[in-house]
Amino acid sequence: MDYHSPASFVEASALAANATGITRFLAGGTDVLVQLRSDLVTPDTLIDIKKINGVRDITRNADGSWTLGVAATGAEMSEHPELGRDWPGVVEAMDLIGSTQVQGRATLTGNLCNGSPAADSVPAMVAAGVTVTVTGPDGARELAVEDIPTGPGKTALAKGELISAVNIPARGANGGDAYLRFIPRTEMDIAVVGVGVNLRLDGDKIIEARVSLGAVAPTVLLVEDCAKAIIGTTLDEVALDALATAASAACNPIDDKRGTIEFRTEVAGVLAKRTAKIAYARAKGEHA
Amino acid sequence: MALDDRKSEFNFVGTRPDRPDGLDKVTGRAKFGADAYAPGMLHGAILRSPHAHARIIKIDASKAEAHKDVKAVVTRADFSDKPEFKPGLEGEFWNVLENVMAGEKALYDGHAIAAVAATSALAARDALKLIEVEYEVLPHVTDVDKAMAPDAPVIREGAADYSVPAGMHPNVVRYHESGHGEVEAGFAEADLVIEDSFATEATHQGYIEPHACLAMLGNDGKGELWCTTQGHWYAQKYCAAALGIETAQLRVTASEIGGGFGGKTTVFIEPVALALSRKANRPVKLVMSRSEVFRATGPTSSASMDIKIGMKKDGTITGAQGIFRLQGGAFPGAPGDMTAMCGFAPYNLTNVRQVGYDVMANRPKQAAYRAPGAPMGAFAVESVIDELCKKLGLDPIDVRLKNAAHEGTKANYGPTYERIGLVETLEAAKAHPHYAAPLKPGQGRGISCGFWFNHGGETSVSLALSEDGSAQLMVGTPDIGGSRASMALMAAEVLGIPYENIRVTIADTATLGYNDVSHGSRVTYASGLATIKAAKHAVEKLCERAAVKWGIPGDAVKWEDGCAVPSGPNAGDFDPMPLADITADMGATGGPISGHFEATPEGAGVSFGTHIVDAEVDPETGKTSVIRYTVIQDAGKAIHPDYVEGQFQGGAAQGIGWALNEEYVYGEDGRLQNSIFLDYRIPVASDLPMIDTVIVEVPNPGHPFGVRGVGETGIVPPLAAIANAVSNAAGVRMRQLPMSPPRILAALKENG
């Protein structure tokens, strides 16, 4: 196994482009190192991106948007004084992952690139409209988070490409986001269903919404029908029921050790309602 | 006197001093199974079957053997061929060997096929990939009911013992039937009869420390083994048989143990490490991964049960019948007999009949798990009692009190109870504020009783006094629940010297007589009794030495508060002689003073408990939260109450996991789907409420201080108590464990 710790993303990209066999990028290592230790994946080339300048930075830009370095950890996000006020759903989703120890290492980018349909931070990022900057042999491009996963363990990143920044939009006025997941326990578990909701109000009325579902299909879903069900409403009971119906209808889950098709489909609707209520309350400035 | 306000008859027993192993454990100084190293040590790894059932056609290890880092490869041919296959449990040496290393067939996903020893753990792991195994995959079965069906694949012909009635499938290997009275007549007398079927899934003990050992075995047949175990004499005996060496030539030392709960009462990797060491002529360390622990050690049995109980309108049980089918993996040993005997044991019944089946399937060989077999039976029986109470409008504690077994009751499984404490636990439950506390909508309360036999077992203890008056106590039962503290308290009580002046050591197999395993809730009872008797033996000698010094007869001296004193005014007028004054010159007054005890104590008193649980069920997701839990159990006499309470709480915590989310999930291919803690859902700390405890003390007449074992009874009532609470909260009877959210939500939907 070859270990590299490049000083720039361009260098990292070149290393990956020229590598043969299995290549893995190493940020927090909470997936890569575990897979290595348990003999699931033994990379031929391991490229540690933590030594690149600025990868731990969490920056609020002049326009109110945020740029997160790819090695900023869950703990650093949770402890940031401002980020969670703008995007509590994104921060809370990240904070749900693993233990305190894992939070000290795990990153949004790693959670996204691991390609799990049950990744907690991904539905929250999709709902929030987060994009990522991708550096590759042909330069940089920007992709929406929902366009990164293409199947369980698979991403749209080509050989030599890696994510070099996470871009969270400006929160703007009268907006709120939330993420909830279902697990049979209280922590230290993998989502059986996850729902991210981000919306904006004009008065009491929802004028923008994005709803994302996790763990109910081969990839995290951005569900237009869910958004349509609540845009133009005050999130009354009728709207909530329509949201639940749309969420359940969007599910294409599997039966496995973590849950059944019926259960995931049903609970996706239940969680969509609960998550939307929290996002709505936050958009109204209520603490929830 | 300073002790005038002491209410107990004891000076030390019943107090709560710090545990002697506490500092070692919080500082990391304690040495567990994987903490041993030896010069020249190799690392072992085990190749495991990916198939649930397959004939092993060929094992080609030549590439592994040729690798420069590999020093030995072993297969079944490297073990003794002396252990013989026999029906049922008669051939347990063969059963254990066959489980430790497969013979002609792989019998479950994870069954050991071959092993290597190499210069590093990584090299050993990678060398396994060089071993080529040719399998003929056979049909498999993992479900207990399917394993009994006429068309089920046969795990092993001839494994059934004499007890099995003719005509049963060969996978049924042991049969138990007991009871008294006429159950049909009993049902005819009842105002209401309920008959229902129940199922539980296999669960794992979930100890935090994976199995680990360091083995050395020379070509001279002399060996040393360091391992994490609940019973090193058992390990000695079974390893010696598997390797074909003399028992006495293998010295086994028990490490500190990171949990066992019954799962470390047998051997899995130890004979393999010894075989590798013998072949490589180097020490070999073997440490299991968590996945190996799940796939290839002993979980508990899965169960399928039919219960029928008749009750009068006043709550009297008129007849009770239970059929209990337990799946115990690919070997005999599933405790169907225990399940059958324990289910109705709390009750004074005129008409009762119980049947237990031990059934084999393509799963790992089950091992003991706290009160093996009892929790499932209690789940089924106590669920039906709860349903009867509900339908007849009766209070569940009153009904249990009305039918409770007491001193003189002829137990459902045969014997007549001596003094027991079931009624006292029920009365304490009824009086507890928890039982009267109001419930919110969506919440339900559940009650259950539970029973466990408790065990005595072969026991040796040795106590040696030092010149300065301190004492070393050697016991042979690994400390799995704070027993060193309890032993020191009991020795202090007899000797009359401070708790801190006694050092308790778990002796190895070469330095103490034989000891049965730390199981059956026997340690505080049996090693405790042995400690008391060994200390009394030393006290007799101390009195004799004092008598010599005073020049009076030996029987004219008695022992009080750590001193020899004249037994009465006629014996003479001498100042009390402290223990340290006697030991100071013991070399000159007759030599070292020690006390011993070797016997098989037979008076382990049976133990009962009653649990109260409040649960809340989310009707939209089926998720259960346990919001309040109270354990009430008879401890006979709590030697160190902290560790008694710890046992109560631990039983409840493991029961909550078993009831709600823990289960072995097998795929259609017969492979275990969830062999890591991420997907084998043991409760995390935040899943549990504070578990309240009430220690009831109805002394056991079979122990000098009244001790009853407490380690196992605590896991018997939780499955039923939680199921009753959940069923009452959800408004639908849950008859299958675990009561996971998908299962509860499906039941709610079905119920409309």
User: Could you say which of A190, A257, A262 has the minimum Cβ distance to residue B746?
Assistant: A262
What pLDDT, on a 0 to 100 scale, did the predictor assign at position B2? 47
What pLDDT, on a 0 to 100 scale, did the predictor assign at position B298? 97
CA closest to B748 among chain A residues: A263
Is A174 a member of any domain?
Answer: no
Whole-number Å distance between alpha carbons of A100 and B88? 49
Per-residue DSSP letter, B525: I
What pLDDT, on a 0 to 100 scale, did the predictor assign at position B190? 98
Query: Would an 8 Å CB–CB cutoff place A100 in contact with chain B?
Result: no
Amino acid making up residue A33:
L
Average pLDDT over residues A91-119: 97
Query: Does A158 lie in the same domain as A218?
Result: no
Name residues whose C-beta falls within 8 Å of residue B385's C-beta, 6 or more positions apart in sequence: B309, B317, B396, B399, B400
Tokens linked to A117 = 């349909």
What pLDDT, on a 0 to 100 scale, did the predictor assign at position B698? 97
What pLDDT, on a 0 to 100 scale, did the predictor assign at position A270? 98
What pLDDT, on a 0 to 100 scale, did the predictor assign at position B568? 85
* CB atoms A188 and B661 under 8 Å: no
Measuring CA to CA, how many Å separate A220 from each of A24, A195, A230, A247, B37?
22, 10, 20, 12, 48
Is A273 a member of any domain?
Answer: yes
Whole-number Å distance between alpha carbons of B423 and B421? 6
Q: If you write DSSP's letter for every residue of B3-31 in order, what string do you get?
A: TTT--SS-SSTT--PPPTTHHHHHHT-S-
Q: What residues does B43 pair with on adjacent strands?
A: B118, B285
Calculate helix-pair angle for B718-730, B641-660, nearest 10 degrees.
50
ipTM of predicted assembly, 2 dp: 0.95
Query: Would an 8 Å CB–CB cutoff place B31 in contact with chain A?
Result: no
Outline where B405-482 has alpha helix (H).
422-431, 433-436
Whole-number Å distance between alpha carbons of B674 and B663? 9
What pLDDT, on a 0 to 100 scale, did the predictor assign at position B571? 86
Is A153 a member of any domain?
Answer: yes
What pLDDT, on a 0 to 100 scale, did the predictor assign at position B752? 79
Is A96 a member of any domain?
Answer: yes
Whole-number Å distance between alpha carbons of B659 and B417? 30
Tens of pLDDT, residue by residue over B468-487, are 999 999 999 999 999 999 99
Measuring CA to CA, how many Å separate A100 from each of A34, A73, A109, A188, B457?
16, 11, 18, 10, 44
* CB atoms A257 and B620 under 8 Å: no
Is A123 a member of any domain?
Answer: no
Query: Does A238 lie in the same domain as A207?
Result: yes
Tens of pLDDT, residue by residue over B609-630, are 999 999 999 999 999 999 999 9
User: How long, in residues, is chain A?
Assistant: 288
Q: If you write DSSP's letter for every residue of B335-368 in order, what string do you get?
A: -HHHHHHHHTTTB--SSEEEEEEEE--SSPPP--
Chain pair A-B, CB pairs under 8 angstroms: 55
For residues A29 and A50, is the Cβ–Cβ distance under 8 A?
no
The CATH fold assigned to B33-139+208-295 is Aldehyde Oxidoreductase; domain 3 (3.90.1170)
Query: Does A80 lie in the same domain as A42?
Result: yes
Residues of chain A in contact with residue B292, where contact means CB-CB under 8 angstroms, are none
What pLDDT, on a 0 to 100 scale, did the predictor assign at position B1? 37
Under DSSP, is residue A84 helix (H, G, I), strand (E, B) or coil?
Answer: helix
Task: Estimate to the nearest angstrom the gap between the alpha carbon of B202 and the chain centroid.
Answer: 15
Residue B749's CB is within 10 A of a number of other CB atoms, namely 12
- B684, B744, B750: which to substitute to probe chain A, counting the most A Cβ within 10 Å? B684
For residues B142 and B190, is the Cβ–Cβ distance under 8 A?
no
Residue A239 belongs to domain with CATH number: 3.30.390.50
How is the beta sheet containing B502-506 ordered, strand by strand?
A: B502-506, B471-475, B459-465, B594-599
What pLDDT, on a 0 to 100 scale, did the predictor assign at position B5? 55
Per-residue DSSP letter, A73: B
Under DSSP, is residue B177 helix (H, G, I), strand (E, B) or coil?
Answer: strand
For residues B288 and B43, is the Cβ–Cβ distance under 8 A?
no
Is A49 a member of any domain?
Answer: yes
What pLDDT, on a 0 to 100 scale, did the predictor assign at position B7? 61
Query: Does A55 lie in the same domain as A147?
Result: yes
Name residues whose C-beta falls within 8 Å of residue A270's C-beta, 6 or more positions apart in sequence: A244, B620, B621
Query: Does A276 lie in the same domain as A162?
Result: no
∠ Cα A256 A259 A262 (to 5°): 105
CA closest to A98 among chain B residues: B678
For residues B683 and B740, is the Cβ–Cβ distance under 8 A?
no
Structural domains in chain A (count): 2
Query: Does A183 lie in the same domain as A274?
Result: yes
User: Could you say which of A39, A259, A270 has the minimum Cβ distance to residue B742?
Assistant: A259
Tens of pLDDT, residue by residue over B92-125, are 999 999 999 999 999 999 999 999 999 999 999 9
CA closest to A274 among chain B residues: B620
Query: Does A28 lie in the same domain as A86?
Result: yes
* CB atoms A187 and B686 under 8 Å: yes
What pLDDT, on a 0 to 100 scale, did the predictor assign at position B560? 96
Query: Does A203 lie in the same domain as A158?
Result: no
What pLDDT, on a 0 to 100 scale, did the predictor assign at position A288? 53
Tens of pLDDT, residue by residue over B395-430, are 999 999 999 999 999 999 999 999 999 999 999 999
For residues B487 and B528, is the Cβ–Cβ distance under 8 A?
yes
Outline where B267-335 has alpha helix (H).
270-280, 290-296
Measuring CA to CA, how many Å separate B354 from each of B152, B414, B415?
25, 12, 15
Residue A35's CB is within 10 A of a number of other CB atoms, namely 15
Measuring CA to CA, how many Å separate B595 from each of A281, B471, B535, B592?
73, 10, 6, 10
* CB atoms A182 and B679 under 8 Å: no
- Domains of chain B: which residue ranges? 22-29+458-599, 33-139+208-295, 420-454+605-750
* CB atoms B684 and A257 under 8 Å: no
Residue A35 belongs to domain with CATH number: 3.30.465.10
Q: Do domains B22-29+458-599 and B420-454+605-750 have the same CATH topology?
A: yes
Is A125 a member of any domain?
Answer: no
Nearest to B229 by CA among B32, B44, B83: B32
Query: Does A149 lie in the same domain as A112?
Result: yes
Helix/strand/coil (H/E/C) assignment for every residue in B604-633: CCCEEEEEEEEEEECCCCCCEEEEEEEEEE
The residues of chain B scoring below 70 in pLDDT are 1-7
Under DSSP, is residue B726 helix (H, G, I), strand (E, B) or coil?
Answer: helix
* CB atoms B681 and A184 under 8 Å: yes
Query: Does A152 lie in the same domain as A96?
Result: yes
Amino acid making up residue B737:
L
Per-residue DSSP letter, B684: P
Residue B314's CB is within 10 A of a number of other CB atoms, namely 11
* Region B22-29+458-599: CATH code: 3.30.365.10
Residues of chain B in contact with residue A259, where contact means CB-CB under 8 angstroms, are 741-742
Residues of chain B in contact with residue A262, where contact means CB-CB under 8 angstroms, are 742, 745-746
Q: Determine the structural domain holding residue A258 and report its residue range.
A: 179-283
Query: Does A236 lie in the same domain as A148?
Result: no
CATH architecture classification, B420-454+605-750: 2-Layer Sandwich (3.30)
Portion of chain B with pLDDT greater than 70, in percent: 99
Query: Does A144 lie in the same domain as A102?
Result: yes
